[in-house]
Chain A
Amino acid sequence: MKTFSNRYMFIYSAVLVAVTALILSVVSVSLKPRQERNQAVEKKQMILKAAGIAATPQTAEQLYADNIKEVNILDRDSLPAYLYETSCIIPVRGTGLWGPIWGYICFNENWVIEGAVFDHKGETPGLGGEISTDAFARRFVGKSCTDSLMTRFVPIVLKKHADPGSLHEVDAISGGTMTSNGVTAMLEACLSRYEEYMLTNAGTELPSGE
């Protein structure tokens, strides 16, 4: 077997890594526009799904343009929302166990949840990853994050043995406690910022304009 000097090995590995890095950067930069477009379409698809409209990647852009209106609540840039007929879809994002989690919650004009979608970057498939399933999202339908008289904000909590009659408790995922806690924290952090808007607009028509 041939022998190689240490010097050769160092240079060899350095060159190999440099060449690899170069190839990967070129590919990554050249494919970026397509990937970003895919992500944008996926986001629109999620918003439509929260509103209860089924869309394929091909139809999502058209359906979105026809049905959804993007607004900033209370004229603040940091409070985006998406309006669909009389529903208001609020984006949420937070952290799960291994990485970012996010979702869209669709409220009717009385701030009761009509639909929800969640997705994640790297939660464990079959455990925390279950948050992206329809079965999990359906648990949120009918829940609310204001009290029944709409006088204050009440966070929605994911917990074991949730009371099915409660407006603010949702069954957590067994085996996915850390991710479930992440969802609870995400919902509280993101939705509480809309408290003022929810309470002042309770039971009334949502603004149709800006």
Chain B
Amino acid sequence: MPFNKNNPVTVQVLGICSCLAVTAQLKPAVVMAISVTVVVALANLIISLLRNTIPPRIRIIVQLVVVSMLVVLVDQVLKAYVYDVSKQLSVFVGLIITNCIVMGRLEAFAMSNPPLPSLCDGIGNGLGYSIILVILGFVRELFGSGSLWGYPVMESLGFYNFGYENNGLMIMPPMALILVGIIIWIQRTRNKDLQEN
């Protein structure tokens, strides 16, 4: 299952770069998660449909063209409908093209499986990535900025009156790496078969 025992981020350790960059707040993290899921799912579907016609010698190029097209589409749609978020995501939407999860699923699964399973595989892996992004975005925005989805949770609960302060480290990228590490730690403690000797 790509959610837990084969999670692309915590088990395969792919797509870490964007995990660190876009998760300082929940909203961009969710938009990024949706974007990646859409791109992986559709790229898997298209490549799977074309898989018998693609000459093996140029297959990586073909995959890249398809992925790039989807990413540019997503980027254009974001710019038209959620302009402020697309500015926050900046270069990281474009960098979905080089996200190892996408190419990894195309090579490992879509090239040798029929369209429907490929689509499901793409959605599954996209969601596995999304779970981690949403957890990181939730924790980092709540403790780093004291808000969720821009809504000032900590302030409305009155925590500041008791001397509570936001943790500035939470909004720095290294904290995302530490949080990913903690998630991996918890996950491996609970799943003995993930532990390496």
Contacts and interface: CB of A to CB of B under 8 A. Distances in A.
Are A and B genuine complex partners?
A: yes
A149 interface: no
A1 B111 CA distance: 13
B81 A16 contact: no
A188 interface: no
A24 B62 contact: no
Nearest to A9: B55
Interface string B102-146: 000000000000000000000000000000000000000000000
Given A122-B91, A125-B21, A38 B62 contact: no
Interface residues of B, number: 25
B55 A12 contact: yes
Contacts of A24: 69, 72-73
A161 to B, nearest CB: 25
Interface in A1-26: 1-2, 4, 8-9, 12-13, 16-17, 20, 23-24
A25 to B, nearest CB: 11
Contacts of B12: none
B69 A20 contact: yes
B80 A28 contact: no
Given A27-B73, A28-B76, A42 B55 contact: no
B83 A38 contact: yes
Interface residues of A, number: 24
A27 B56 CA distance: 30
A140 B77 CA distance: 36
B1 interface: no
B169 to A, nearest CB: 15
Contacts of A39: 83
Contact of B55 (A4, A17, A38): A4
A57 B83 contact: yes
Contact residues of A: prevailing secondary structure: helix
B197 interface: no
A85 B191 CA distance: 65
A34 interface: yes
B21 A27 contact: no
A87 to B, nearest CB: 26
A35 interface: yes
B62 to A, nearest CB: 6
Contact of A16 (B65, B72, B77, B79): B65
B58 A57 contact: no
| Residue from A2, A12, A16, A41 having most chain B Cβ neighbours under 10 A | A16
Interface string B47-86: 0000011111110011001101100110011011101100
Given A8-B55, A12-B55, A24-B69, A35 B62 contact: no
B90 interface: yes
A17 B76 contact: no
A31 interface: yes
Given A9-B58, A16-B62, A31 B76 contact: yes
Interface of A: 1-2, 4, 8-9, 12-13, 16-17, 20, 23-24, 27-28, 31, 34-35, 38-39, 41-42, 57, 122, 125
Interchain residue pairs A-B with the least CB separation, the first 8: A4-B55, A38-B83, A34-B80, A31-B80, A20-B69, A9-B55, A35-B79, A35-B80
19 contacts: A1-B56, A4-B56, A4-B57, A9-B57, A12-B53, A13-B58, A13-B61, A13-B62, A20-B68, A23-B73, A24-B69, A31-B76, A31-B77, A35-B76, A35-B80, A38-B79, A39-B83, A41-B83, A57-B83
